[in-house]
Amino acid sequence: MALHIALTFDDNFWAPAYTVMRSICLSTHRRADLVFHLLHMPLSAEHRADLERIGAEFGASLRFYPLADMPAFETLVAGLPQHGRWPKVVYARLMLADLLPPDVPRVIYLDCDMLVRWPIEQLYDIDLGGQPLGAVRDSIAPFIALRRDMVQNADIFDGADPYFNSGMLVIDLAHWRDIDIAAEIAALAASGVLSRLYFDQDLLNLIFRGRWQPLPWRWNTIDADAAHEALDPAILHFTKTTKPWALRAGILHATAYARWYRHVMTNELFYRFARHRWKRWWLKKLRLAR
């Protein structure tokens, strides 16, 4: 049976996407069953070739979904809040039920700032209790939902309600398709609250309120740092500003499994990604200086 995994990213995040996929492949014996659904903005030929190495090394299947060629994606994201750290591609996960083939029963969505350490099939086969969605409660909820002083969005969210992190989602696609996501977003837009929401995560928590299955924290270990190594996490989620691909002095060892992460990315790609990031940083500085 195939194991379907979905990622969303742009050309500036190709190396972390590669690392997520390679960590999954290294952590399971069922590599040939893996099918990676890659929802992406335009990719350079070099970066796409890097991603395709996953298939050559492990025998996994890769399916590419170029979002820039999909007018429906632009329609979906029009009017939704965006930010430099959260570009519009983050909303692509809302289209999984529309983009994936109808014979795909279930998919795991993963953010690209993650690292997988346990066999992914254990998560893929997890019981969702008849719900369309499985996720892990966010470690700093309800602060994210209620915002400043836990009152700013109290008219939208109830702090006593469970609130999940959207970086890892187990999706039952048949049940998901029973929900008209576009209509739910349109209703939220009509209510005037979109500009106050925390991107796709708030959207998903509102749409699936009371319709999701809480999963064990190990499947989305949020704010992963070195102390989490003793807890044997299944999936690490590097949500802090400090990322395991950072090269600044002392930063590399400030996140969990930092050395392991570098070698999963491979040394060659790790340093090439570092040069890519430095180039982007300097170009941004030069544009601001003009």
Q: Strand 133-137 and strand 164-172: pairing?
A: antiparallel
pLDDT one-digit tens code per residue, 200-209 = 888 899 999 9
Q: Please report where in the chains the tokens 């994201």 appear, as a residue.
A: 77
The predicted model gives 245-270 an average pLDDT of 82
Give the pLDDT band (50/70/90) at residue 76. confident
Confidence check: pLDDT of 83 > 70: no
Confidence check: pLDDT of 21 > 80: yes
Confidence check: pLDDT of 11 > 70: yes
pLDDT one-digit tens code per residue, 24-49 = 999 999 999 999 999 999 999 999 99
Contact 47, 10 (CB under 8 A): no
Confidence check: pLDDT of 228 > 90: no
Give the pLDDT band (50/70/90) at residue 194. confident
Where is pLDDT greater, at 285 or 109? 109
Confidence check: pLDDT of 99 > 60: yes
Confidence check: pLDDT of 157 > 90: no
Q: What is the pLDDT of residue 226?
A: 84
The predicted model gives 223-228 an average pLDDT of 85
Measuring CA to CA, how many Å separate 32 from each of 19, 25, 26, 120? 17, 9, 12, 13
Instruction: Report the domain count for the chain.
Output: 1
Report d(CA 192, CA 287) in Å as an integer.
34
Q: What is the mean pLDDT of the chain?
A: 90
Q: What is the pLDDT of residue 279?
A: 82
CATH number at residue 35: 3.90.550.10
Report d(CA 25, CA 14) in Å as an integer.
17
Q: What is the pLDDT of residue 249?
A: 44
Containing structural domain, residue 221: 3-289
Contact 173, 106 (CB under 8 A): yes
Report d(CA 49, CA 151) in Å as an integer.
48
Q: What is the pLDDT of residue 143?
A: 82
Q: What is the pLDDT of residue 190?
A: 84
Range of lowest pLDDT (128-137, 142-151, 211-220): 142-151
Q: Is 28 helix (H, G, I), strand (E, B) or coil?
A: coil
Confidence check: pLDDT of 79 > 80: no
The predicted model gives 265-284 an average pLDDT of 87
